[in-house]
Structure 1
Amino acid sequence: MRRLLFLNGIKAFEAAARSGSFAAAGSELNVSAAAVSRLVHLLEERLGVALFERKANRLALTSAGRAYQSGLTPIFDALASLTAQVTASAGTRVLTIGVGPTFAMRWLIPRLADFRKEQPDIEVRITTGGAAAPFADDWSCGIKLGSGEWPDLVAEPLFAADLQPVCAPRLASQLKRPADLRGPNLLRVAHAAEDWPLWLKAAGASRLTARGPEFQFYGQALQAAADGLGVAMGIRPYIDDDIAAGRLVAPFSLSVPKGMRWYLVYRSFRTSQRDFAAFRRWIIQAASRPAGRGKASKVRQMAD
């Protein structure tokens, strides 16, 4: 017979361990912080082991508490997912993907028609919170730029995030070497201030400083570059389709790693869900294929 100990106490402990405080756990569970504290204390008494070290201004998990929480959180995640599946309308199959707005517009959305052809019964919902947005519990998966280290998430690499300047074809004809670049014409992205210095240093042009218009997202800067406003620092895979179609040109062949990669991220229990498994197979295959064929721009070799 399965022995389940004090589920209310287990829920209170998991919420407090995950959030880091009784107050936050109480807010999540719609009870007071004192109630959470009592439930956790009762759970510790029943288990016969301390789960928290109570410190003056914070909670600290004991080694037993860390082990217990690391096993409980995936169980509660799986339970929430199973409940959502059971209570969903008959025939409704929903896949929610968390992704930044530029990645959605520049890569994912143009390819979703292919996924729909393969899986017409799956409803895809895209939520755009930005690359720095925390992974939401109701996401089936996310696509994030980073180091690949996210606690409690599986991260599978999709693309290298390489940097390469791009601009409109007319402007590219004026750029023979990196020294031809001009600071006021170098378009910037607010959250990626390190991109231009990184590439310029590798190109031997570190004396240059990007002083052009600043945009919130890569997509805005790339659109401005296509419209002839200046030279944007492109990041893969954002620029691949535009280069293949001739909308943008990479005037120099030098491509510099950003030091991060794009990853498909998800909770481990998702691998057993057929809709997510289908999307995972599709996106890994799609990421391995070259950009769409079109009027490819000629990439000029960088002069010494």
Structure 2
Amino acid sequence: MKLPPLNALRFFDVAARTESFVEAAAELHVTHSAVSRQVRLLEDDLGVSLFDRRGRSIYLNKAGRELRQVTSRMFDELAQVSDRIRNSAMENVLTLSCEPTIAMRWLIPKLGSFQSACPDITLHLVAAGGAIDFRRTKVDIALRRNDFKWDDSVEALFICKERTGPVAAGAHASSIDNEDTVFLHTSSRLNAWPTWASTAGRSIKSKRNVTYEHFYLSIQAATAGLGVAIASFLMVQEDVAAGQLVAPHGFLEDGSAYYLLSPEPISGCDSRQRFANWLLREIRNNE
């Protein structure tokens, strides 16, 4: 059984649907002569004419209409199968937007566990915080603290409450009440120290203050012995466990919380749901 050339069939199918070599050429992004040449190739292969040609106009003849019924169905089915395969492959690629310091200091060190639990899901990580436009960024899900209002159409899955506390290198652990203490602040959350002090019922004597742009930098400065930083428990869990930092006053809830945001129902996508389940397990295991 000899099959006609597939490319010639494709050119024929578009020309038959439009009944115009010019329109077919525009749709296929080729020249008019290229379409005419492929159709001629197909007609030579079949040994029959498929169009009645009248000047610049073309009309399907009986053989052309018979073939068109088959090619139309064939290419429609190919398109549907291709879309299903493409969408199935995309379901296993998950793009996550996460606040930078949480990503660097908590999430990334644990991604080996996620890869072991879900080896078929490829996670693309984008470091970003605050409000997010899912359509513009093409992000699937986002881990965010509820310090901004998101659209009502966004699904928000509660992950955990935020807890913050002072952290420092061992030699500076008890220096919070010392007037010479250097307090390390972060410009992205300038109220972190006042909020913690109010919750803890403490009075902070802050004569010496240094502000860093990101939490990551202030935590690094604290690790280097440059002062006392305020940090989320998620950001410093590993450092405290390893003894690189101490948290002498523990961590207190500050009234905010972390949520996993999604523009579509999390339960409606296997990769989203599995990541959410893994994230919740990790949070519970580390509280």
- Matched to 2:170, the amino acid is P
Which whole-Å CA distance do the structure 2 matches of 1:169 and 1:139 have between them?
A: 40
In structure 2, do the counterparts of structure 1 residues 269 and 92 end up closer, same or farther at CA, with 3 Å as the change threshold?
closer
- State the shift of 1:200 in Å: 2.6
- Matched to 1:233, the amino acid is I
Residue of structure 2 equivalent to 1:95: 94
CA contact (8 A) 1:187 1:210 kept: no
In structure 2, do the counterparts of structure 1 residues 163 and 181 end up closer, same or farther at CA, with 3 Å as the change threshold?
farther
- State the shift of 1:133 in Å: 3.7
Which whole-Å CA distance do the structure 2 matches of 1:90 and 1:248 have between them?
A: 43
CA contact (8 A) 1:161 1:262 kept: yes
Does residue 217 of the first structure (1) align with residue 194 of the second (2)? Answer: no
CA contact (8 A) 1:159 1:236 kept: no
Structure 2 gaps of 5+ residues are 1-81
Which whole-Å CA distance do the structure 1 matches of 2:186 and 2:233 have between them?
A: 15
- State the shift of 1:179 in Å: 2.2
Does residue 286 of the first structure (1) align with residue 282 of the second (2)? Answer: yes
Matches within 5 A, 1:135-284: 135-137=133-135, 138-146=138-146, 150-151=150-151, 152-172=153-173, 174-175=174-175, 178-180=176-178, 182=180, 185-206=182-203, 208-209=205-206, 211-253=208-250, 255-284=251-280
Which whole-Å CA distance do the structure 1 matches of 2:284 and 2:120 have between them?
A: 24
SS at match of 1:280: helix
Which whole-Å CA distance do the structure 2 matches of 1:239 and 1:221 have between them?
A: 11
- State the shift of 1:222 in Å: 0.6
Superimposed CA distance per residue, residues 183-218 of structure 1 (whole angstroms, 9 cap, x where no aligned partner)? 5x0001002111112223344443523642211111
Superimposed CA distance per residue, residues 228-267 of structure 1 (whole angstroms, 9 cap, x where no aligned partner)? 11100011211222111111001224x3322210111112
More helix by share: 2
- When normalised by structure 2's length, the TM-score is 0.64
- State the shift of 1:269 in Å: 3.3
Identity %: 28
SS at match of 1:289: helix
- State the shift of 1:268 in Å: 3.4
CA contact (8 A) 1:141 1:264 kept: yes
Residue of structure 1 equivalent to 2:65: none
Which whole-Å CA distance do the structure 2 matches of 1:114 and 1:220 have between them?
A: 26
- State the shift of 1:148 in Å: 8.2
Superimposed CA distance per residue, residues 40-97 of structure 1 (whole angstroms, 9 cap, x where no aligned partner)? xxxxxxxxxxxxxxxxxxxxxxxxxxxxxxxxxxxxxxxxxxx987546958821100
Number of residue pairs aligned between Structure 1 and Structure 2: 203
Residue of structure 1 equivalent to 2:14: none
Residue of structure 1 equivalent to 2:125: 126
